[in-house]
Chain A
């Protein structure tokens, strides 16, 4: 089982960025997928989740209306589109898979997003 995030970068406040997470070694389409982030010196914070066909997605209040989770099961990839980025969105973003909706069993290694002018 492997999940590899990409797309992390330095972006200015108000900017946009899209993270990708490619899964391998498991049947991607049968899993819920989550994004979780960890800001500098802070703990883990859940960001978003999607079920297998995107019919059920949820977001943390702090990102609702700005971030969008999506997935391409044919490519075994989940995405996080981040718009209207704020300094406080600076964090390492982890994708994670969940065999049951709210139980994460494997994590990626993370992608660093820095929002700064």
Chain B
């Protein structure tokens, strides 16, 4: 099973909205609604921000939203803020294994 594909980097200005894609295949994202997204800062453990494609854990800002179409899941961050500058990582169930993306480095200009 191959890892999920994410863009290596994205950038946006404060106040803008950005969308990070996570592409898999029929055996993972295309079949299962178990896609998670994590926000990662250097030297710190990843923080869960989206689970089961669209759900937000308690305490996570509603500026973060998730969606899925076919074999691609997406994370949208609206009203970009400086503190959103981080790496974002997707994860999908794939029948037995969990698959991870390579991570997307988001820069807030």
Asked if A43 and B51 make an inter-chain contact with CB atoms under 8 angstroms apart, the answer reads: no
Asked if B51 and A58 make an inter-chain contact with CB atoms under 8 angstroms apart, the answer reads: no
Select from chain A the residue with minimum beta-carbon distance to B89: A44
With A43-B3, A44-B89 already in contact, the answer to whether A104 and B98 are too (CB < 8 A) is yes
**Which residues on B sit within 8 Å (CB–CB) of A61?**
97
Helix, strand, loop or mixed for chain A's interface?
Answer: strand
- The reply to whether the CB of A10 lies closer than 8 angstroms to some CB of chain B is no
Within 8 A of A (CB), among B11-55: 34, 36, 45-46, 48, 51-52
Hey, what's the 0/1 contact readout for A39-50 against B, CB within 8 Å counting as 1? 000011110010
Helix, strand, loop or mixed for chain B's interface?
Answer: strand
User: In whole angstroms, how far apart are the Cα atoms of A103 and B89 in the complex?
Assistant: 13
Asked if B100 and A43 make an inter-chain contact with CB atoms under 8 angstroms apart, the answer reads: yes
Asked if A44 and B100 make an inter-chain contact with CB atoms under 8 angstroms apart, the answer reads: yes
**Which residues on B sit within 8 Å (CB–CB) of A109?**
45
**Which residues on B sit within 8 Å (CB–CB) of A106?**
45, 48
- The reply to whether the CB of A60 lies closer than 8 angstroms to some CB of chain B is yes
Which A-B residue pairs are the 5 nearest by beta carbons? A46-B98, A44-B100, A107-B45, A102-B93, A105-B48
24 A–B pairs (Cβ distance < 8 Å), ordered by A: A36-B100, A43-B100, A44-B89, A44-B91, A45-B3, A45-B100, A46-B98, A46-B99, A46-B100, A58-B96, A58-B97, A100-B52, A103-B34, A103-B36, A103-B48, A103-B52, A104-B48, A104-B98, A105-B51, A105-B57, A106-B45, A106-B48, A107-B46, A109-B45
Residue ranges of B at the interface with A (Cβ–Cβ < 8 Å): 3, 34, 36, 45-46, 48, 51-52, 57, 89, 91, 93, 96-103
